[in-house]
Every structure is written in C-alpha cells, then in structure tokens.
C-alpha cells in the first residue's frame, strides 16, 4: 500500500470518528420517572434551543433505578429525573450519579434544593397540604400536621400508603423539625385516626373527603390545583365540598418535596447532560413546571404566573433542605413500619 493511500485511509478514519463524535454531541439519553404529558413541551423546547435530540426512557422510579444498577458502566443514560428527595438520595448513595460543576446551577438553584456535593439538583417543588370536608370538619381544628394525629379526628383521616415517598418525605420533615419521638407519636396517632386503610393516590383522598368517607386528608398541591382547573362537573362538585389549608403556618411552614435531576454516573454525553440540567433551571423551563404540572418553580427570581397556584394564596414553606429529608428516609420508614402505617 503506498504512502498516499495510507494517508487517505487515515484521514477517512479520522473523518468518520469526527462525524461520530459530532453526532453524539446532538443526543441526550434521558431516563425519566416524570410521567406528565405536559413535560413534552419542555423537551421539545430544549431540542429547539440546542439542536440536541432527546431519547427518552420512561419508567417508574424503582424500575428506573433497578435498570441503572443492572446496566452499570454500560448504561447509556445521560440524565436521570426522579420525583422525590428520598429516591434522589437512594440513587446518590448507590453511586448512580456523578457530581456537576456548573455556575449556572450554583447561581440559579438555592442550596435548600440541592443534593450532597452537587450530585443532584431539584427543579420543581410540591407542597403537602391538608384538605377537609366543609360540612363535617371545623377548619380551625386542622391547621397543622400534628392536628391530624389528635384523638378528636379518630375515624376521620385518609392518606395514601405510608410507604409512599410522599408520606415518607413528610415524616422525614417531622423528624428534622421535631425529633424522632414526636414523629413516632404522629405516625401512631395517624394510624389510630384512620377512616380506612391507606390506599389510592392523592386525588382519591380528595374525592373521599368530598364524599364524606373521610373528614380530612393530605394531598400534594398539584393534585388539588388540577381539580380546581378542571371543567368536569364531577370535579367542580368535589371542589365545592372540600376546603384547602396551608399547614403549620405559625410554626415550620408547609412541607415541601421536590422533583430533581442528575447526570448519570456513566453518561456518554456529559456535556449535553449538563446543558439539559442548566436548561431546566432557566426561566422558560421553570414556567413549564409551574404551568404544565402546577408545581412550584425553585430557581431564583422566577415569577409565578399560574392562576391556579396563585389562587392558593401566599404561604410559609418549610425550609428543611431536601438533602436532610433524603437522609432521614430510613428513619421515617422504620417509624411507619413500627406504627403499622400500611
């Protein structure tokens, strides 16, 4: 083979590698546990702004984490999105994320909403509120989470499963703010006050309150706002019978949980992954979270323009760091198990 031919082949090989690298720069492999149709606009806007195509895998949180563990170093995942501080912590502790150094994220996302050592960042928050039956419950008697566990509400409380991350996150905040004993007493009181065994999602709890099966219940705010915004007669009927309360306004504030993301430990397209996380912290993306799924934006300086959320009025939010909630998860699970909170 003559020298010029060898050079031609070498240049061709370099060109092929360059083209492959260029193609990789335009792809983001997203593993997401967010199952909200409104997020489609979010992803489309990112691609429009950057030219980076998102290849998405949608799974439940546990199935998603199991897949990441099984794939190990061979995983194609670039970014992982999860919808709870406890689940983000689990993935972090299992080495499924890698740290990110980004001035944009450091400047935009408050420390309250970040994981340990920059391993994950929250991009939206959801509040855990109290709803009550207007016909049977005096709202003055259910102003705090602690009120739900008092004997006066025996046989009137409904919630989803005590093993669900939304409930565990709430208990984690009680552990952080009041200590393990107080959180244990609360769990025992809640079990004693159940109108029925825990079941269903938050919307099911709200409907059960409207029907009178329950007197009070806990719900994430976005479920309530969905009903407020609904044009369906049956949803309007539910809203007319149910009252909404921001809990703990004279003490710690309403509990806040998060939805967040991280760069996967073995991300093949790390630069694109960081770009995507930075995009999620932008005003544009933050408004998609607020207007698309009725979540609270967490980035600094974002103005809320969601009438449904705004109708809930101003409130005091619990400022317990998301990383603290995550760290308390194992204790919370033990408390709920011991109380028999199914």
In order of 16, 29, 47, 69, the CA distances from 19 in angstroms are 5, 19, 20, 31
CATH number of 25-125+257-305: 3.40.190.10
- Report whether 144 contacts 248 (CB < 8 A): yes
Q: Sign of torsion, CA 154 155 158 160?
A: positive
Instruction: State pTM to two decimals.
Output: 0.85
Residue 151's pLDDT band (cuts 50, 70, 90): very high
pLDDT in tens, 80-123: 999 888 889 889 989 999 999 999 999 999 988 998 888 999 99
CATH 3.40.190.10 domain range(s) in the chain: 25-125+257-305, 126-255+318-339
Tell me the average pLDDT across 195-223: 97
Q: What is the C-alpha separation between 207 and 229, in angstroms, rounded?
A: 15
Tell me the average pLDDT across 237-249: 98
Per-position DSSP letters for 171-204, written without gaps between them: HHHHHHHH-HHHHHHHHHHHHHTBSS---S-HHH
CATH architecture of 126-255+318-339: 3-Layer(aba) Sandwich (3.40)
Per-residue pLDDT for 22 more than 80? no
* Nearest Cα residue to 113 out of 271, 326, 292, 331: 326
pLDDT in tens, 196-209: 999 999 999 999 99
66, two tokens: 């199991």
Q: What is the C-alpha separation between 195 and 137, in angstroms, rounded?
A: 14
Residue 117 has what pLDDT?
A: 86
- Report whether 92 contacts 120 (CB < 8 A): yes
Per-residue pLDDT for 4 more than 90? no
DSSP state of 127: E
Report the Cα 282 to chain-centroid distance in Å. Answer: 18
Contacts of 318 (CB under 8 A, 6+ apart): 173, 177, 248, 252, 253, 254, 255, 256
301, two tokens: 């300086």
212, two tokens: 């009178």
């Amino acid at each position: 083979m003559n020298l010029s031919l060898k050079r031609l082949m070498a240049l061709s090989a370099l060109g092929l590698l360059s083209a492959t690298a260029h193609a990789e720069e335009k792809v983001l492999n997203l593993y997401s546990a967010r199952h909200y149709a409104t997020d489609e606009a979010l992803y489309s806007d990112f691609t429009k702004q950057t030219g980076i195509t998102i290849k998405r895998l949608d799974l439940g949180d546990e199935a998603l984490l199991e897949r990441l563990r099984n794939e190990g170093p061979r995983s194609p995942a670039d970014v992982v999105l999860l919808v709870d501080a406890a689940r983000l912590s689990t993935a972090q502790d299992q080495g499924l994320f890698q740290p990110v150094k980004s001035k944009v994220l450091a400047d935009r996302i408050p420390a309250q909403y970040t994981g340990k050592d920059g391993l994950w960042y929250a991009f939206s928050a959801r509040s855990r509120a109290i709803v009550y039956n207007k016909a049977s419950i005096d709202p003055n008697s259910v102003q705090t989470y602690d009120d739900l566990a008092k004997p006066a509400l025996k046989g009137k409380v409904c919630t989803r499963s005590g093993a669900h991350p939304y409930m565990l996150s709430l208990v984690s905040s009680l552990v952080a703010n009041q200590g393990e004993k107080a959180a244990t007493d609360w769990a025992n009181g809640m079990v004693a006050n159940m109108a029925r065994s825990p079941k269903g999602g938050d919307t099911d709890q709200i409907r059960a309150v409207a029907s009178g099966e329950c007197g009070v219940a806990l719900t994430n705010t976005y479920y309530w706002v969905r009903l407020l915004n609904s044009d369906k007669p049956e949803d309007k009927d539910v809203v007319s019978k149910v009252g909404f309360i921001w809990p703990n306004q004279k003490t710690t504030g309403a509990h806040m949980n998060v939805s967040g993301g991280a760069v996967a430990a073995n991300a093949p397209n790390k630069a694109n992954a960081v770009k995507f996380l930075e995009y999620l912290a932008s005003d544009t993306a933050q408004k998609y979270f607020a207007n698309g799924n009725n979540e609270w934006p967490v980035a600094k300086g974002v103005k809320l323009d969601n009438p449904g959320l705004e109708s809930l009025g101003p409130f005091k939010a619990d400022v317990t760091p998301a990383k603290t909630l995550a760290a308390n998860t194992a204790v919370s699970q033990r408390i709920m198990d011991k109380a028999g909170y199914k």
